[in-house]
Amino acid sequence: MDNLQFLYVSGGCALLALGFAFFMFTQIMKKDPGDAKMQAISRQVQIGANAFLAAEYKWLAVFVVIVAATIAFAGEAADLGPQAAIAFIAGASASALAGYFGMFTSTRAAVRTTQAARTSLGDALKVAFGSGSVMGMTVVGLSLLGLVVFTYLYTDNLTNITEKSLNSVLGFSFGASSIALFARVGGGIYTKAADVGGDLVGKIEAGIPEDDPRNPAVIADNVGDNVGDVAGMGADLFESYAGSIVAAMTLGFFAYHGQEHMTSMVVMPLAVSALGILASIIGSFFVGAKNESQLQSALFRGMVVASIVAAAATWWLCNGALPLPAGVNGTHLFIAITSGLVAGVIIGKLTDYYTSSSFKPVKNIAFQSQTGPATNIIHGLATGMESVALPVVFICAAIWAAYEFGGIYGVAMSAVGMLSTLGITLAVDAYGPVADNAGGLAEMAHLPKEVRERTDALDSCGNTTAAIGKGFAIGSAALTALALFSAFCTKAGELSLRPEASEALKKLVVDGSMVLNINTPTVTIGLLIGGFLPFLFSAMTMRAVGNAANKMVEEVRRQFREIKGLMEGKAEPDTQRCVAIATDGAIKQMIVPGVMAVTVPLIVGKFMGIEALGGMLAGSLVSSVMLAIFMSNAGGAWDNAKKYIEAGAFGGKGGPVHKAAVVGDTVGDPFKDTSGPSLNILIKLMTVVGVIFLPWFV
Amino acid sequence: MDNLQFLYVSGGCALLALGFAFFMFTQIMKKDPGDAKMQAISRQVQIGANAFLAAEYKWLAVFVVIVAATIAFAGEAADLGPQAAIAFIAGASASALAGYFGMFTSTRAAVRTTQAARTSLGDALKVAFGSGSVMGMTVVGLSLLGLVVFTYLYTDNLTNITEKSLNSVLGFSFGASSIALFARVGGGIYTKAADVGGDLVGKIEAGIPEDDPRNPAVIADNVGDNVGDVAGMGADLFESYAGSIVAAMTLGFFAYHGQEHMTSMVVMPLAVSALGILASIIGSFFVGAKNESQLQSALFRGMVVASIVAAAATWWLCNGALPLPAGVNGTHLFIAITSGLVAGVIIGKLTDYYTSSSFKPVKNIAFQSQTGPATNIIHGLATGMESVALPVVFICAAIWAAYEFGGIYGVAMSAVGMLSTLGITLAVDAYGPVADNAGGLAEMAHLPKEVRERTDALDSCGNTTAAIGKGFAIGSAALTALALFSAFCTKAGELSLRPEASEALKKLVVDGSMVLNINTPTVTIGLLIGGFLPFLFSAMTMRAVGNAANKMVEEVRRQFREIKGLMEGKAEPDTQRCVAIATDGAIKQMIVPGVMAVTVPLIVGKFMGIEALGGMLAGSLVSSVMLAIFMSNAGGAWDNAKKYIEAGAFGGKGGPVHKAAVVGDTVGDPFKDTSGPSLNILIKLMTVVGVIFLPWFV
């Protein structure tokens, strides 16, 4: 096949993914949605989730319009203009649409999972995993489709690949990034404000169990799982997926510019991702379990099958299917691409080690909780900090292998490789919140105990897979940001060759790429500024959760106080008021950090220069990766230490050790679900902004 | 005066500092040590502190001998050899001696402060501040003396300044760094293990007040203040002081090599420091207060007077006193040097803002404690993270100004400027633990209430000054590490000119200095590795505190259980056993992180090359500065939020809000007194190792 045919195939695979997602959706909707009570509760969650997304997207629409106008009028000189603006709007819309559809499905799948759990675990798994697949396939389908279409349009069917055309395609990724940031931050604030606020009053003050229908915040909590863990996570990986592909396309163009078969290197990332979709679909047929002990292995089996198929397909692409430029060794390229895939799996496993109650770190946190909340916190923080080292070592190993065997292009392709099976990894990840919600529904609808036990089994397995998913998200964000960073430096090199390039810029470029010498004050200052941004950003998002949670606490307390008969179960709580408070809080609090992430690179780039900006992006990358791993893993470890105690260790649920562990879990909530994951997007978004607006800076 | 005369003057000032320290010491010892009971308690603290230093120094002696032997036999080719080894041993010994003498004084000054507080606040301040001055002046005196002597000896009275001679002088700084690391880490673990362990059982479980003589850990806690906050802090700043001076000397040599009056630039850092000693002595005469409201301003007055005198002296040095190379503008150099001084004061003030109960951040943490320990922790962490931004901005501003007006040499000199008044800033800082101990003694000896009130006033003021001191320590560590980093790159440039230099090395060097291009995988991998090291190091030290504190908890619980009549005040606790446990725990736990700090740069430099090492040092610098500020300020803010509540806010001492705040305070203890400050040393030490062993790597 030639390159154009591969582009068509890629578009076909994207459509296939969307078709698969729609098919799964119809299958889910055919399932029994349970009795009237269950449906009523489910509808409350659906209404709440819709209300949040509507409020969020309204605000986002304003943001998208402003940025799109900026891009459109930034002018041709800056390699921007209407084409990039259109791609930007499309990227933002596609990401928003994927989030909406994924969430639409998950809020409907939860109640059907509960109903299925009345019969068997296997059926419940099918529904929950199906819902995750809808999210996963929609994300990869829309993302790849958008990239294929804009590549086709802007390069005149691959006949005219230029910097400007690729910069316009990059607009798609930038659009996705913008949505991702607000979806992650807003969703993360929402979910944790509801969770923390509800728990603080319900579990700790009033002493009622989790998901108790008397707690007015319980619906908001369930909504939060959907807007944060489904829509937010989906948007995060949507942008990693799009970002890594377009970064690799750009670097493929720069690295092999003027050589025969350069087009193959531009099409390669699209093709690898397209075959990854097929691999994911094949893998998802291998997911199925009859009892609890099979659950974990069922999900892993699906991922492993998909990875093997994807690796085989990549081998085929590198060794014959696509004509490579002279001097490019197919096997070497294959190694570079799969290094990301391998690193992703290892990082996932490491995340599992640090956050699962089967291993020493979490058990130790539980043990330390015996001396109270302070030692629980100290050891949780220490575990999180310690857990940074090994994943980073493996990221470094992947970078090394990818560079050794594929150069800078190889590094970008390793990110593409890591994300090629996103269709199934995201499915495995997004099934967790569905199971979680299903359990909440069982509790609220007073279903028999075995139903809750089955959903708990699904949920507990979901926690592990979520940890792996988070590891993937961080690892891929690091590699994607690095690939975009390389694109930033390479693009600066290309700009220096233009006739209008300044002497200052020309001086910075050696061998076609910008040199960012740490041993100059400008770069050092940039590094330090970049270093503190993730801290500032995390502080903002954590505080946002705290503020929103406080409002929730007050409201729940007020309802407990003022609604007569609520605690006795004779009156209904006003759940939609809690939903409104969470929505309002999340939207208000996401604006400042979100706008900061977009404007700071613009300010630094314009007023301090591209050397400072390059330093800043590198500093942010370093700082973000460390903080993100630290926060995600500390949060996961606290969560599971609490669950470990709830399962009977150190006096079990309700004892003083459990109380201490609940403190850690509460602190960990914004860590792992708001601030930590938001950092993934911060680095990618800032780097994309840097790349897109680079011509404007110089 | 010529350069050699300035060298003599510098030596004279160093001796003057030592004489002043000894004079203050004799004045303190003349004071009334109180009644028999007070003396008995004080003796227990002295014995405990001695026992710890003896155990620590024994272990350190082994370490010093091994490293000295390595340096001695590393051979002349690596610019090392016996001269560097001797300087290394001297640096280590001088730092150890300063720590010992400072602690010897502080443990004796505390009881005399208590006794003086029976009469008046002013007298008590005099004793406590005098003890701080002994520490401050001993540190600057021994440090400067050592540098002057080795400069004199190794450069043949300034007639033969070479790379090798300066590398040998650098050995003195390396020796100081090694001691500093272990003193900070060991002392930090000790003090917090005793504090946390004692508080967890005493305050939280048994409900007895702080410093209650029934608590068996109370002596160990008092010992800890001395070994951690006096000896540890002293060693930390000893090495910043020595490190910044020798880095500036090295850069002065490289930058003005071959020019007339190059020697002035080598002598300049010594001269600035020497005149800073005079300024500090003058400033310390302005410290004096009659009542509580004057306390804070009394200490500030001393520091401000010293800063002004130092700035004036620097002006004199730059504008005529020292002959400068052609093209060096004296006024510009003056601006570069004082930029550090100004940044130090601003960073101190910012630290005060984020950690003092007079301002919004701490009040907000106290407010958030109303919803329990979890929100206290979340907001404390958020405050710490937020507090990173502005100090880093001012560090960047200092770097910018220093570079703009003095080049790379200017950056190193700004660190020297920041530390020039260390004699008094350290005095202001080291007086805090003396006041703290004096209060403990008043409590244990059952002295009248007004005595405790007076010592509390001193202590509370000491907390603010300690915060400022920590800000100084971090700011100076950042600039010192940066100066050493520049020395690292410049030295690599010089090495590339030697006949035996490899082609690979020559390629890395542009304009006489190594280029560390972030946009190469090796440097990126180095950056990422450097990024996680501070996290790993902090995890280790926090866990060390946790482990040692746990042993303490068990012991205190055992004593409460087994010693009949202890809680009723009829029996004595076995305090020395707690001292032994803290000592043992601290020594054991400091070894792994300490050895890691020295060996990792060696391993990376030797096996991954100097580009990776350079990236690693830069990554560590970025990551360490952020984490150190975050941890120190979060810890300080939690501490003062608790104190704010104890002073009557939100229900005051003993209420549920206070209990929540105590959790934050306990988490903050290892943050602010162990892990955070240890990072200052980690970056300096790793960079010194990099510079010293650079010839061995290439």
pLDDT exceeds cutoff 80 at B293: no
pLDDT digit string, tens, across residues B332-342: 999 999 998 88
Nearest to A519 among B514, B536, B667 (CB): B514
Query: Which DSSP category does A517 fall into?
Result: B
What are the E-state strand segments in A33-88?
A: none
Q: Do A381 and B667 touch (CB under 8 A)?
A: yes
β-sheet bridge partners, residue B513: B510
**DSSP class per residue in A201-249:** IIIIII-PPTT-TT-TTHHHHHHHIIIIIIIIHHHHHHHHHHHHHHHHH
pLDDT band at A200 (very low <50, low <70, confident <90, very high): confident
Give the C-alpha separation, A93 to A97, whole Å.
Answer: 6
- The pLDDT value given to residue A417: 93
Nearest to B532 among A372, A389, A550 (CB): A389
Give the C-alpha separation, A657 to A642, whole Å.
Answer: 9
Closest approach of A638 to chain B, Cα-based (Å): 12
pLDDT digit string, tens, across residues A596-638: 888 999 999 999 999 999 999 999 999 999 999 999 999 999 9
- Minimal-distance CA residue of chain B relative to A611: B518
pLDDT digit string, tens, across residues A453-484: 888 888 878 777 777 778 888 888 899 899 88
Nearest to B378 among A411, A525, A542 (CB): A542
- Minimal-distance CA residue of chain B relative to A396: B525
Give the C-alpha separation, A611 to A319, whole Å.
Answer: 39
Does the beta carbon of A365 lie under 8 angstroms from any beta carbon of chain B? Answer: no
Does the beta carbon of A596 lie under 8 angstroms from any beta carbon of chain B? Answer: no
pLDDT exceeds cutoff 70 at B75: no
Cα distances (Å, whole numbers) of residue B613 to A645, B181, B609, B618: 43, 20, 6, 9
CA B110 to chain centre: 21
Nearest of A633, A638, A630 to residue A366 by alpha carbon: A638
Which whole number is the average pLDDT over A272-286?
A: 94
Does the beta carbon of B200 lie under 8 angstroms from any beta carbon of chain A? Answer: yes
Percentage above 70 pLDDT, chain A: 99
Instruction: Answer yes or no: is the ipTM higher than 0.90.
Output: yes
Closest approach of A83 to chain B, Cα-based (Å): 29
pLDDT digit string, tens, across residues A634-653: 999 999 999 899 888 898 88
- The pLDDT value given to residue B414: 94
pLDDT band at B327 (very low <50, low <70, confident <90, very high): confident
Give the C-alpha separation, B583 to B487, whole Å.
Answer: 37
Nearest of A25, A150, A26, A146 to residue A95 by alpha carbon: A146
**Cα B582-B586-B588 angle, rounded to 5 deg:** 120
Give the C-alpha separation, B602 to B618, whole Å.
Answer: 15
Cα distances (Å, whole numbers) of residue B560 to B208, B462, B546, B640: 12, 32, 21, 29
**Percent of chain B as helix, strand, coil, to the nearest 5:** 85, 0, 15
- The pLDDT value given to residue B401: 95
Give the C-alpha separation, B278 to A59, whole Å.
Answer: 61
Nearest to A667 among B374, B411, B486 (CB): B374
Asked if A166 and A262 count as a contact pair (C-beta separation under 8 A), the reply is no
pLDDT exceeds cutoff 90 at A322: no
Which whole number is the average pLDDT over B260-285?
A: 94
pLDDT exceeds cutoff 70 at B50: yes
- The pLDDT value given to residue A222: 86
Nearest to A525 among B399, B489, B623 (CB): B399
Give the C-alpha separation, B43 to B441, whole Å.
Answer: 11
Asked if A139 and A98 count as a contact pair (C-beta separation under 8 A), the reply is yes
Q: Do A519 and B485 touch (CB under 8 A)?
A: yes
Chain A residues with CB-CB distance to B529 below 8 A: 392-393, 396
**Which candidate in A350, A365, A378, A479 is best for mutational testing of the B interface (most B CBs within 10 A)?**
A378
The two structure tokens encoding residue A515: 């040199």
Nearest to B531 among A399, A536, A626 (CB): A626
**Which candidate in A555, A622, A625, A657 is best for mutational testing of the B interface (most B CBs within 10 A)?**
A622
N-to-C CA span, chain A: 41
Give the C-alpha separation, A163 to B32, whole Å.
Answer: 81
- Between positions 272 and 331 of A, the ones with CB within 8 A of B are none
CA B530 to chain centre: 21
Asked if B174 and B692 count as a contact pair (C-beta separation under 8 A), the reply is yes
**DSSP class per residue in A118-155:** TT-HHHHHHHHHHHHHHHHHHHHHHHHHHHHHHHHHHT
| Sign of the alpha-carbon dihedral angle for A670, A673, A676, A682 | negative
Which amino acid, residue B664? Answer: G
Is pLDDT larger for residue B109 or for residue B327?
A: B109
Which amino acid, residue A669? Answer: D
Helix A449-496 to helix A389-419 angle (10° resolution) is 80
Q: Do B388 and A532 touch (CB under 8 A)?
A: yes
- Minimal-distance CA residue of chain A relative to B382: A539
pLDDT digit string, tens, across residues B161-208: 888 888 889 999 999 988 888 888 888 888 888 888 887 787 777 778
Q: Do B524 and A550 touch (CB under 8 A)?
A: no
Give the C-alpha separation, A361 to A565, whole Å.
Answer: 44
Give the C-alpha separation, A80 to A93, whole Å.
Answer: 19
pLDDT exceeds cutoff 90 at A389: yes
Does the beta carbon of B689 lie under 8 angstroms from any beta carbon of chain A? Answer: no
Chain A residues with CB-CB distance to B530 below 8 A: 622
- Between positions 514 and 553 of B, the ones with CB within 8 A of A are 514-519, 521, 523-525, 527-532, 535-536, 538-540, 542-543, 545-546, 549-550, 553
The two structure tokens encoding residue B354: 């984020």
| Sign of the alpha-carbon dihedral angle for B636, B638, B643, B648 | positive
Which whole number is the average pLDDT over A580-598?
A: 86
Query: Which DSSP category does A324 fall into?
Result: P
The listed range with the strongest mean pLDDT (A432-441, A525-534, B652-661) is A525-534
**Which candidate in A365, A411, A623, A626 is best for mutational testing of the B interface (most B CBs within 10 A)?**
A626
Cβ density class A430-464: b for 16+ within 10 Å, e for less: bbbbbbbbbbbbbbbbebeeebbebbbbbbbbbbb
- The pLDDT value given to residue B76: 64
Strands A513-514 and A509-510: antiparallel
Give the C-alpha separation, B321 to B315, whole Å.
Answer: 9
Does the beta carbon of A368 lie under 8 angstroms from any beta carbon of chain B? Answer: yes
pLDDT exceeds cutoff 90 at B288: no
pLDDT digit string, tens, across residues B594-643: 888 889 999 999 999 999 999 999 999 999 999 999 999 999 999 999 98
pLDDT exceeds cutoff 80 at B468: no
The DSSP H or E segment spanning A547 is helix A521-562
Query: Which DSSP category does A388 fall into?
Result: T
Closest approach of A616 to chain B, Cα-based (Å): 11
The two structure tokens encoding residue A325: 């430029």
pLDDT exceeds cutoff 80 at A403: yes
β-sheet bridge partners, residue B510: B513
- Minimal-distance CA residue of chain A relative to B534: A385
User: Can you give the C-alpha Rg of chain B in angstroms?
Assistant: 24
Arithmetic mean of pLDDT over chain B: 89
Q: Do B622 and A626 touch (CB under 8 A)?
A: no
Does the beta carbon of A20 lie under 8 angstroms from any beta carbon of chain B? Answer: no
Which whole number is the average pLDDT over A279-303?
A: 83
Give the C-alpha separation, A673 to A190, whole Å.
Answer: 10
Does the beta carbon of B616 lie under 8 angstroms from any beta carbon of chain A? Answer: no
Give the C-alpha separation, B434 to B439, whole Å.
Answer: 9
The two structure tokens encoding residue B280: 């500090």
Nearest to B386 among A513, A518, A536 (CB): A536
pLDDT exceeds cutoff 90 at A508: no
Which amino acid, residue A685? Answer: L
The DSSP H or E segment spanning A509 is strand A509-510
Does the beta carbon of B656 lie under 8 angstroms from any beta carbon of chain A? Answer: no
Q: What is the largest CA-CA distance in chain A?
A: 79
pLDDT band at B314 (very low <50, low <70, confident <90, very high): very high
3-state secondary structure of A256: coil
Give the C-alpha separation, B44 to B223, whole Å.
Answer: 9
User: Can you give the C-alpha Rg of chain A in angstroms?
Assistant: 24
Chain B residues with CB-CB distance to A254 below 8 A: none
pLDDT exceeds cutoff 80 at B535: yes
pLDDT exceeds cutoff 80 at B543: yes
pLDDT digit string, tens, across residues A410-455: 999 999 999 999 999 899 888 888 988 898 888 888 888 888 888 8
Give the C-alpha separation, A148 to B475, whole Å.
Answer: 50
β-sheet bridge partners, residue A517: B517
Which whole number is the average pLDDT over A30-51?
A: 90
Between chain A and chain B, how many beta carbons pairs sit less than 8 Å apart? 228
Give the C-alpha separation, B250 to B243, whole Å.
Answer: 10
Does the beta carbon of B625 lie under 8 angstroms from any beta carbon of chain A? Answer: yes
3-state secondary structure of B250: helix
- The pLDDT value given to residue A78: 66
Give the C-alpha separation, A609 to B447, whole Å.
Answer: 63
Does the beta carbon of B630 lie under 8 angstroms from any beta carbon of chain A? Answer: yes
Query: Which DSSP category does B259 fall into?
Result: S
Query: Which DSSP category does A607 fall into?
Result: I
- The pLDDT value given to residue B546: 81
Say how many C-beta atoms besides its own lie within 10 A of residue A349's C-beta: 15
**DSSP class per residue in B114-175:** HHHHTT-HHHHHHHHHHHHHHHHHHHHHHHHHHHHHHHHHHTTTTT---HHHHHHHHHHHHH
Does the beta carbon of A451 lie under 8 angstroms from any beta carbon of chain B? Answer: no
Q: Do A375 and B516 touch (CB under 8 A)?
A: no
Does the beta carbon of B670 lie under 8 angstroms from any beta carbon of chain A? Answer: yes
pLDDT band at A153 (very low <50, low <70, confident <90, very high): very high
Contacts of residue A410, defined as CB under 8 A and 6 or more positions apart, other chains included, come to A332, A333, A336, A337, A339, A402, A403, A404
Give the C-alpha separation, B493 to B487, whole Å.
Answer: 10
